[in-house]
Amino acid sequence: MTVRPADPMALAEAGRLLRDGALVAFPTETVYGLGADATNGRAVAGIFAAKGRPHFNPLIVHVPDLAAAERIAHFTPVARHLAQAFWPGPLTLVVERHAEAGLSDLVSAGLSSIALRVPAHPVAQQLLAAAGRPLAAPSANRSGRVSPTRAAHVAEDLGDRVAMIIDGGATAHGLESTILDGRGEAVVLLRSGAVPREAIEAILGASLTRGPASDDVHPTAPGQLASHYAPNALLRLNARDVQPGEALLAFGSDVPDTAGPTLNLSAEGDLIEAAAALFAALRELDRPGVNAIAVMPIPEHGLGEAINDRLRRAAAPRP
């Protein structure tokens, strides 16, 4: 790991590292972010591995401007109005992603929505330009620790797990962005943050309703958000064989015989590769004629813990 000042050489190198799938920590006006190419599933999986998160939660994707955001997702008139009022700046909008947006499924934890933000910090903007990709970036701290507002905090927490830390000094807000769900007619406050509620209500000319938070402070319980993206087919976990009518979600090289549809999360048994493939694989196997998906055992270490958490939620009894 190297902490580098935010000069043109470091930024060009950081852009290359990101395009190669590496992690780069960078300053935003709120807190330091742990950035990865949002179009690269392996790179996004690397974020969860570096943070040591026991579950996958949807991440915020950073883009240079509203035009780039509209290439990724659908903006309702009210969402566009909010974006025009507060971007660039510490506001994140949850919007419905386009099917062909080219982002990894893991970045939004398999949801059809996506959280987007246009950062105001000049270094964040320069990095987005250097990378030429949308950047997924949660706060650059280990899971369960407070968000970093200086490069030195990132080095303490994640120093051995990132390719580069760009030092842009102390962040201005020191508090994460405000998150709004802008999909419906009534805008919903999902996380309070650096843009105060009053400023948003002044722009809307209406009051905000408070929605269920799904952040890492309040992990989403099974049956809440999680149930919305369970596949239609039932899941049978820790399967060592395949029954008639079942598809197989395999892991590793020792795969049982089956004539049914099969996908392997990682023939090499690589948990990062498996995490990157997980949501797309569930979607792909959840097809007509498949009654259940038999899922081979996934080891419970590293990203395996988060993969198994997600699989257990998807396998939980449905209402």
Can you give the binding site for ligand TXA, defined by CB under 6 A?
28, 30-31, 33, 57-60, 90, 92, 94, 108, 111, 113-115, 117, 137-139, 176-177, 179, 190-191, 214-216
To Mg ion, the closest distance from the beta carbon of 144 in angstroms equals 10
Which residue's CB is nearer to ligand TXA, number 57 or number 76?
A: 57
Residue 94 contact among ligand TXA, Mg ion, none, beta carbon within 5 to 8 Å by kind: ligand TXA
Residue number with CB closer to ligand TXA (176 or 270) = 176
Question: Cα–Cα distance between 212 and 3 in angstroms, integer?
Answer: 37
Footprint (CB under 5 A) of Mg ion, residues 135-154:
139
Half-sphere exposure at residue 240, Cβ-oriented, CA atoms within 13 angstroms: 0
In the bound state with Mg ion, the residue whose beta carbon lies nearer, of 104 and 139, is 139
Which of ligand TXA, Mg ion, none does 191 bind, CB closer than 5 to 8 A by kind?
ligand TXA
Q: How far is the CB of 219 from ligand TXA (least distance, A)?
A: 9
Q: Provide the minimum distance between the beta carbon of 23 and ligand TXA in the complex, in angstroms, as a whole number.
A: 13
- Kindly state the smallest distance separating residue 281's Cβ from ligand TXA, in Å: 20
* Least distance from ligand TXA to the Cβ atom of residue 57, Å: 4
What residue type is assigned to position 243 of the chain?
A: Q
Cβ closer to Mg ion: 92 or 139?
139
Q: Judged by CB under 5 A, does residue 92 bind Mg ion?
A: no
> Quick one: CA torsion of 269, 275, 281, 286, rounded to 10 degrees?
120
Only one of the segments 10-18, 106-114, 134-142, 161-169 lies at the binding site for Mg ion (rule: CB under 5 A); that segment is: 134-142
Count of CB atoms situated within 10 Å of the CB of 82: 21
- In the bound state with Mg ion, the residue whose beta carbon lies nearer, of 5 and 144, is 144
Q: How far is the CB of 286 from ligand TXA (least distance, A)?
A: 20
CA distance 17 to 12: 9
Q: Of 115 and 163, which has the nearer Cβ to ligand TXA?
A: 115
Chain residues that interact with Mg ion, rule: CB under 5 A: 139
